[in-house]
Amino acid sequence: MKTMKKYLITILVGLLAVFLILWSKDIFAQNQPVTVFHILCDAFFAVGVVITGVGLLIFSSNEGTFDMLSYGMTSFLDMFRRKKVNQYDSFYDYRKSREEKKISFGFILICGILFLIASGVFYYMYRQYC
Residue at 115: amino acid letter: F
> Could you give the number of structural domains in the chain?
1
Of the chain, the percentage scoring pLDDT greater than 70 comes to 98
Is the CB of residue 14 less than 8 Å from the CB of residue 115?
yes
pLDDT > 90? residue 82: no
Contact 122, 37 (CB under 8 A): yes
Read off the pLDDT of residues 12-42 as tens digits, 9 standing for 90 and up: 999 999 999 999 999 999 999 999 999 999 9
List, for residues 51-72, the tens digit of each pLDDT value: 999 999 999 999 999 999 988 8
* Full residue range of the structural domain in which residue 13 is found: 2-129
